[in-house]
């Protein structure tokens, strides 16, 4: 019964790999796209390796259900991995947006050089 589990693990890994290679548009945040692609490709490799491990354990171990347990554990571990990866990407994106918004607000508040005692950013006709 370990064969179908190994096939499912390998199919999910290959499907995720195909989706990741074609699924992102160029309009998205490039840092988030790279992070998502990296997490997904690592997960794809892990799923395919777990599928091979399930087959190896199924062939070499006595028929006590260890291979099936390994396959189910790998599937749930993969779901947990993707959930945590998605949370990391969302939190990092929110922090990056908050930082860029704060930097833009700081630039708009301080024009630089328009007040007395500060050097001007531009040279006008009365400045040498």
* pLDDT attached to residue 74: 92
Q: pTM of the predicted model, to two decimals?
A: 0.66
Mean pLDDT by 10 residues, the chain (128 residues): 88 87 70 81 91 93 90 92 88 80 62 55 59
Return d(Cα 20, Cα 33) in angstroms, integer: 10
CB 116 within 8 A of CB 70: no
The residue among 39, 33, 40, 36 whose CA lies nearest residue 18 is 40
Euclidean distance between the first and the last CA atom of the chain, given in angstroms as a whole number: 85
| Residue 7, token pair as written in the block | 């096939």
Domain locations in the chain as residue ranges: 2-108
């Amino acid at each position: 019964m370990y064969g179908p589990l190994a096939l499912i693990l390998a199919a999910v890994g290959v499907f995720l790999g195909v989706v990741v290679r074609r699924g992102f548009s160029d309009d998205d945040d490039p840092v988030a796209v790279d992070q998502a692609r990296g997490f997904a490709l690592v997960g794809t490799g892990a799923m395919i390796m777990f599928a091979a491990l399930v087959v190896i354990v199924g062939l070499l171990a006595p028929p006590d259900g260890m291979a099936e347990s390994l396959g189910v554990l790998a599937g749930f571990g993969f779901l947990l991995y993707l959930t945590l990866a998605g949370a990391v990407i969302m939190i990092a994106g929110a922090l990056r947006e908050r930082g860029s918004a704060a930097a833009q607000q700081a630039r708009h508040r301080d024009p630089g050089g328009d007040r007395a005692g500060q050097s001007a950013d531009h040279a006008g006709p009365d400045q040498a």
